[in-house]
Structure 1
Amino acid sequence: MSTFNFQITDLPASLHPLLHTIQPASTADGVAVLLFLLSALGYITRGRIWDKSDPNYRVYFERPQVLDGGSHSTATATRNIAQRLEEGNYQCVVFWGSQSGTSERLAEGLSRECASHFGINALAADLSDYDAESIGQISKEKFAIFILSTYGEGDPSDNTAGLWDWVKRVKDDNSKLHELRYLALGLGNSNYKYYNRVLDVVADALDDAGATALIPRQKADDANGGTEEDFQSWKDNVFALFRGMGYEEKSVEYQPSINIQFTAPEETKTHPHHVSVHHQKSSTCSAIVPLAIKSSRELFTAGDRNCVHMELDLGHHEVGYKTGDHIGIWPCNPEEEIRRLLEALGLEHRRQELFTVETLDETSKPKVPSPTTLETAFRHHLEICGPVSRKTFLDLAPFAPTPEAKAMLLGFGKDRERYEQLTSATHITLARLLHLASPEKPWTVLPLSFVLESLLSLQPRYYSISSSSVIAPRRITITALVVNRTIPGTSDSTIHGLTSNYLLSATKLPSNASIPTPSFQHTNSESVEGGRVFAHVRKSKFKLPITSSTPLILISAGTGFAPFRAFLAERAKLHAIGKPVGKMLLFFGCRSADSDFIYQEEMEKMKESLGEKLEIITAFSREGDRKVYVQDRVAAQSSKVLEMLDAGANMYICGKASMAREVDMKIEEAASEAKGLGEAEVKAWTDALKKRGKWRADVWG
């Protein structure tokens, strides 16, 4: 029989009496006593004996740009914005609520212009960095500016969550904000039903609580790419306000907000390849991970359009997903555009040299890691394929390499009509603009800091996951329409969908488009396809009901069917194992049955499997003499839709925002007629369904 050899003196004095009362009678009893004592020891010492601190623990909570050498190396000193304004001697704060980075860029630019043009010390602030309640403590001598994005179906950006909750409490509590002065601009898209809803909700709450709007709120509309022009118009009004408040405006030369320093050539041996310096793992978004491409196939080719199905392997990564979630794909820029930009800047010979970025303005955040190279920055971190704003034309003019280039830039920059004619006829990226203005002479005097400040940070593009986490928990499938739009009457003005072409290139599938697919640099792996893509998973509220017997109404067009493929597959699996499954009414629309009917065979098999539980209604917009759209089919079947909704069905709409808006109108019109409801009553009916999660939409512009 084994015995215990540990000494009572090895234990804390507080355990000595306890030890003497316990006399083990056998080996099993002895083991039990030892385990009990160790547990007690852990409780009393709170783990101090063996709990060694992880020296890298803090890294888990630092923003990536901090790790990359950015200036934000310390946490915000206070989460009270009123206190922060006083400590920093700021006269105003420019809050931004941003999902894609546009609001952030505009806010940072506006704060710099406040200082340079009017001497107003302005703080550009991420709303999530401060407690929203402290906004009400801002003194009347200062003022707040809000630039707020609305995305999806009237949803606030992730970093606006605190403000969103606070304004609701302000309204409910009837709080008073009599000292708060503010200005507000909303960024949205009028194709969406709830256009700029976030701006209206926030501004209405502030007004109701007694805050003073210094100028009327204004809305920027990105439906036709008008965000930049609308922002400039609003900024003109803001600057007019400043002049009226007694601030003297002065003209200033370009002042960089970052300092760029190239390293010696002998030091340029290696450099990091980061995907993003801004993305943060959060409760809604996973970390960015490289996912191997396990398989891919073409769903259809029609004219210049391709649609691909891609399967990604989650492998060993600590990333999971649930049916209905989104996957954010992080693309890289095409090699042709990288080369074009480097040539225009006269920096082709320095593409592999390392440089560091130091922010000179504490309100700015670096867009690229440090150190990095121009090639890496232009490939992985900056939106070099995006269109150029009219303001950029004017800002570039002082650095023009020739008088002709300067005159050209000023001519378009000062004339909105000429600018819109040019950009509607030609796809103008920064590189293409530089070549257009000065085709022979490179822009060697253009500061690289200006280039990095002018370009947006590269952002992920989101796709609805078309696989079920119940059936394939470690595999994610994407259904991507490859987008290429050629401007009529031009030879070099094809607008390639960046991420869709990046995915097509990664699959190695041939493109059916008449214009070649851009070339991208891909990261190899040991997968079947030999490649991988960087991605993260974002949680969605677009979820199946917990009870499988709940009826479903699924309304989609084109690749909007993607999440419904997962929904139906999951329901079919449950039905196959004998679980009760509710009736499903699926509306699906595309151009024609012969050209772009995606997953047609799968739908037919699911119909065979589910039988009367699944009814499929199709709409073809380019088949025969009459164009029939999804909303037309919904209108024709409105009595069935209303009957199912009244019986407790969940309704889901996925596709373009314009389609979803039309579907909403058809259902509301039908409800008004069938139920005898007025406009206000219909709105209350739809709002009640949406609040209970019975009416959900996952749409895009």
Structure 2
Amino acid sequence: MATLNLPLQTNDLSPSLLPLLQALQTTSSTDRLAILLFLLSTFGYLTRGRVWAKPDPNYDVYFQRPQEGPNCTTSKASATRNIAKRLADGGYDAVIFWGSQSGTSERFAEALGRECGTRFGVHALVADLSDFDAESIAEISKDKFAVFILSTYGEGDPSDNTAGLWDWIKKVKENSSAVRELRYLAFGLGNSNYKYYNRVLDVVADAFDASGATALIPRQKADDANGGTEEDFQSWKDDVFALFRGMGYEEKSIKYQPSIKIEFGEGQEAKHTLPVHHQHSATCSTIVPLPIKNARELFTAGDRNCVHLELDLGHSDIGYKTGDHVGIWPSNPDQEVTRLLEALGLQHRRHEAFTVTPLDDSTKPKIPSPTSLDTAFRHHLEICAPVSRKALLDIAQFAPTPEAKALLLSYGQSREQYERLTATMHITLARLLQLAGPSTTWTTLPLSFLFETLQPLQPRYYSISSSSVISPRRIGITALVVNKCIPGTSPSTIHGLTSNYLLSSTRLPSNALPSTHTPSYTHTNLNDATTDGTKILAHVRKSKFKLPITSSTPLILIAAGTGLAPFRAFLTERAKLHSIGKPVGKMLLFFGCRHPSSDYIYESELAKLQSALGDKLEIITAFSREEGKKRMYVQDRVGQESSRVVEMLDQGASLYVCGKAGMAREVDVKIEEAVGAGKGLGEKEVKAWTDGLKKRGKWRADVWG
């Protein structure tokens, strides 16, 4: 290699570089080249921004929207996370916060916000709690007030979007004057079948009251145990409006004012897009279309079917852990979509594209744009839910005939008549319109009103029945398909929306009774031509319903019906560990269903697991409708074995309950009674004992209403 001879000038260089230059004189040509390259790189790094690559003073302009430039007068209030500043900048009188897991609280908040404005001129901002920093609630001035509509689900848990408020409330409790300027109203949504009925409302309101806030009216609670949520909300809202009258707000006659604009137009192409209101978060994955694999029927008994299916995660970015939940996004059945379009007189515009434009910055569209009526009613809006009594009164103003208006008002103004109607007929929006105006179409009913009033279609959650250790790319689902028949002069059926959608998606033949046939659905593959079967939209939600880290920890598993689903995953995972020589703790499984020969799901699988695990697994069954025998429920079996259950818990076992909330509550009672009797403890001591287990994660429940 040729020798490198370069004239080295050292006068202008840093003294710290001289040793390197001297080394160049005594090293080989290869080493000299390496050292020279190092010097050049060092020189370039030290002079960047001064000699070369000087920063452009206008660089940030490239990343600004035109409407956010320095000369723009548009308010930036919408970008702030400080609710007090947002209210002041927007000239709002109040904020209506919602904390919702299923969308009901959000719907109530939006309805209340509209009526505050139209009836009393109260300018209220309807706000997702996660959109603002909870700490800024304390800064809301005395001349404004805050409304909290909060849902409780599971074991007294807050909704996902309430996490920030929940964390802040812990700090509020520690400061007796943290919110002394705050004036507030609070309404909670819950179910009294659950042990921690409306806990979120109570925790938040108690903290506010103890820290100096002023409750303008007493907190109120909705109870969904008997379907009374809508009526409870109406009752609370009446009290809120009475408060407004007392505060000097003048009540106006209600005249519908749309908050969105609907425009049909040529050149627009309607597309089936993902739900616009789903938010990817730390607990929920993105929504993805997943193909159905390995579908089979577990049992059929009259009007009840139970199916097992698996969702293939394939190469998607989402995964799951044993014990997680899967959210299934259903679509509405063909018959109900067609019935609604016919009632509205809009069959001819079924596939025309239109756009939805909000008329104020507090309105969030529930459907994407552009879209079509078929897509909106099929994939984005709840059109199969029963219509509330309040909705009857609202719809009456658009009635096409005096007779239709009179009929709607008669049902809407009388709770007794409304309850008689709903006891004999499943009143969806389409059926209501056909009942009130059987010989005419509702062309006078604005689409904007429908899109504002109807609730967004929400996912339904299922406990995953597969193990992520055994089947990491397959999600198992166990779905009970129930179709409730309502007796009357014209019997009607309430079809479980998502369960029937899943049954239809599996392409299994329906073995239900003729009177409860499976509705038909139009399935879409979201323009994916590569699919080899039906795909459904789904996402994964993280759960705390997890196996102990140590496989030798004993387990007590209590389930009824499809509550067995997560325990199927637990047991298969433990059986795998046992097969490879890992230590596995004792497992006591309580399982209840109606009849051993008709709805004992996964019976053969459980037999194989028991054979593989030997004395590590003990199964105790309860059958409530076995011929010739006394009715026995799973909580009764737990009561019979309660002393053994308590002993296992004292020895470090973990207890899990999955099924209906009423069953879980009775299981709690049986165990608490055994603890009190066996240990000689009072009610407070027993509660402290059970609460201690739950706080340590040794007692977990995955229940539903």
2:678 is equivalent to residue 674 of structure 1: yes
Cross-structure match for 1:69: none
2:572 is equivalent to residue 573 of structure 1: no
Instruction: Indicate if the aligned counterparts of 2:77 and 2:90 stay in contact, CA closer than 8 A.
Output: no
Please give the secondary structure, in 2, of the residue aligned with 1:483. Answer: strand
Cross-structure match for 2:171: 169
CA positional deviation for 1:666? 0.7
Cross-structure match for 1:422: 421
CA positional deviation for 1:19? 7.8
Cross-structure match for 1:481: 480
CA positional deviation for 1:450? 0.9
Code of the residue aligned with 1:88 in structure 2: it is G
Code of the residue aligned with 1:628 in structure 2: it is M
CA positional deviation for 1:177? 2.1
Cross-structure match for 1:63: none
CA 1:394–1:316 in structure 2 vs 1: closer, same or farther (change >3 Å)?
Answer: same
Code of the residue aligned with 2:302 in structure 1: it is G
Please give the secondary structure, in 1, of the residue aligned with 2:657. Answer: strand
CA 1:620–1:15 in structure 2 vs 1: closer, same or farther (change >3 Å)?
Answer: farther
Q: Distance in 2 between matches of 1:458 and 1:118?
A: 30
Could you give the per-residue CA deviations for residues 99-155 of structure 1, whole angstroms, max 9, x where no partner exists?
Answer: 111111111121121121111111111111111111111111111111001111111
Cross-structure match for 2:398: 399
CA positional deviation for 1:503? 0.5
Match of 1:160 among 159, 162, 174: 162
User: Under a length normalisation based on structure 1, what TM-score does the superposition of the two structures give?
Assistant: 0.91
Please give the secondary structure, in 1, of the residue aligned with 2:545. Answer: coil
Code of the residue aligned with 2:581 in structure 1: it is G
Cross-structure match for 1:363: 362
Code of the residue aligned with 1:254 in structure 2: it is Y
Please give the secondary structure, in 1, of the residue aligned with 2:487. Answer: coil
CA positional deviation for 1:80? 1.3
Cross-structure match for 1:646: 650
Listed as ranges, the matches of 1:404-553 within 5 Å are: 404-489=403-488, 491-514=490-513, 515-524=516-525, 530-553=533-556
CA 1:526–1:601 in structure 2 vs 1: closer, same or farther (change >3 Å)?
Answer: farther
Could you give the per-residue CA deviations for residues 299-319 of structure 1, whole angstroms, max 9, x where no partner exists?
Answer: 011111111000111011100
Q: Distance in 2 between matches of 1:56 and 1:283?
A: 31
Q: Distance in 2 between matches of 1:296 and 1:545?
A: 30
Instruction: Indicate if the aligned counterparts of 1:390 and 1:413 stay in contact, CA closer than 8 A.
Output: yes
Cross-structure match for 2:622: 619
Cross-structure match for 1:65: none
Code of the residue aligned with 2:523 in structure 1: it is H
Q: Distance in 1 between matches of 2:126 and 2:392?
A: 24
CA positional deviation for 1:512? 1.4
Cross-structure match for 2:71: none
Could you give the per-residue CA deviations for residues 7-32 of structure 1, whole angstroms, max 9, x where no partner exists?
Answer: x9xxxx99994986998979999999
Match of 1:199 among 198, 201, 206: 201
Cross-structure match for 1:238: 240
Code of the residue aligned with 1:678 in structure 2: it is G
CA 1:440–1:174 in structure 2 vs 1: closer, same or farther (change >3 Å)?
Answer: same
Match of 1:560 among 535, 560, 563: 563
Cross-structure match for 1:100: 102
Q: Distance in 2 between matches of 1:694 and 1:94?
A: 37
Instruction: Indicate if the aligned counterparts of 1:220 and 1:230 stay in contact, CA closer than 8 A.
Output: yes
Structure showing greater Rg: 2
CA 1:573–1:176 in structure 2 vs 1: closer, same or farther (change >3 Å)?
Answer: same
Q: Distance in 1 between matches of 2:15 and 2:588?
A: 67
2:133 is equivalent to residue 131 of structure 1: yes
User: Under a length normalisation based on structure 2, what TM-score does the superposition of the two structures give?
Assistant: 0.90
Cross-structure match for 1:311: 310
CA 1:555–1:250 in structure 2 vs 1: closer, same or farther (change >3 Å)?
Answer: same
2:636 is equivalent to residue 632 of structure 1: yes
Code of the residue aligned with 1:123 in structure 2: it is L
CA 1:126–1:249 in structure 2 vs 1: closer, same or farther (change >3 Å)?
Answer: same
Q: Distance in 2 between matches of 1:601 and 1:298?
A: 14
Cross-structure match for 1:253: 255
Instruction: Indicate if the aligned counterparts of 1:76 and 1:129 stay in contact, CA closer than 8 A.
Output: no
Instruction: Indicate if the aligned counterparts of 1:98 and 1:149 stay in contact, CA closer than 8 A.
Output: yes
CA positional deviation for 1:407? 0.7
Instruction: Indicate if the aligned counterparts of 2:3 and 2:29 stay in contact, CA closer than 8 A.
Output: no
Code of the residue aligned with 2:671 in structure 1: it is I
CA positional deviation for 1:36? 13
Deviation larger for 351-360 or 31-40:
31-40
Instruction: Indicate if the aligned counterparts of 1:293 and 1:529 stay in contact, CA closer than 8 A.
Output: no
Could you give the per-residue CA deviations for residues 138-181 of structure 1, whole angstroms, max 9, x where no partner exists?
Answer: 11111111100111111100111111111111113444322211
Listed as ranges, the matches of 1:36-185 within 5 Å are: 76-185=78-187
CA 1:613–1:395 in structure 2 vs 1: closer, same or farther (change >3 Å)?
Answer: same
Please give the secondary structure, in 2, of the residue aligned with 1:186. Answer: strand
> What residue ranges of structure 1 are gaps of 5+ in the alignment?
60-71
CA positional deviation for 1:389? 0.5
Instruction: Indicate if the aligned counterparts of 1:95 and 1:126 stay in contact, CA closer than 8 A.
Output: yes
Please give the secondary structure, in 2, of the residue aligned with 1:463. Answer: strand
CA 1:674–1:397 in structure 2 vs 1: closer, same or farther (change >3 Å)?
Answer: same
Please give the secondary structure, in 2, of the residue aligned with 1:76. Answer: helix
CA 1:603–1:86 in structure 2 vs 1: closer, same or farther (change >3 Å)?
Answer: same
Instruction: Indicate if the aligned counterparts of 2:658 and 2:701 stay in contact, CA closer than 8 A.
Output: yes
CA positional deviation for 1:40? 12
Deviation larger for 448-457 or 514-523:
514-523
Instruction: Indicate if the aligned counterparts of 1:323 and 1:567 stay in contact, CA closer than 8 A.
Output: yes
2:595 is equivalent to residue 595 of structure 1: no
CA 1:529–1:417 in structure 2 vs 1: closer, same or farther (change >3 Å)?
Answer: farther
Q: Distance in 1 between matches of 2:550 and 2:400?
A: 67
Could you give the per-residue CA deviations for residues 507-561 of structure 1, whole angstroms, max 9, x where no partner exists?
Answer: 1101111122111111357899721111000000000111111111100011001
Q: Distance in 1 between matches of 2:572 and 2:251?
A: 63
CA 1:691–1:165 in structure 2 vs 1: closer, same or farther (change >3 Å)?
Answer: same
Please give the secondary structure, in 2, of the residue aligned with 1:615. Answer: strand
Q: Distance in 2 between matches of 1:561 and 1:308?
A: 13
Cross-structure match for 2:669: 665
Aligned-residue RMSD, C-alpha: 3.1
2:691 is equivalent to residue 697 of structure 1: no
Code of the residue aligned with 1:605 in structure 2: it is K
Please give the secondary structure, in 2, of the residue aligned with 1:446. Answer: coil
Cross-structure match for 1:655: 659
Instruction: Indicate if the aligned counterparts of 1:294 and 1:528 stay in contact, CA closer than 8 A.
Output: no
Q: Distance in 2 between matches of 1:146 and 1:36?
A: 64
Cross-structure match for 2:350: 351
Q: Distance in 2 between matches of 1:43 and 1:566?
A: 59
Please give the secondary structure, in 2, of the residue aligned with 1:578. Answer: coil
Q: Distance in 1 between matches of 2:671 and 2:198?
A: 23
CA 1:647–1:330 in structure 2 vs 1: closer, same or farther (change >3 Å)?
Answer: same
Instruction: Indicate if the aligned counterparts of 1:485 and 1:496 stay in contact, CA closer than 8 A.
Output: yes
CA 1:22–1:652 in structure 2 vs 1: closer, same or farther (change >3 Å)?
Answer: farther
Please give the secondary structure, in 1, of the residue aligned with 2:375. Answer: helix
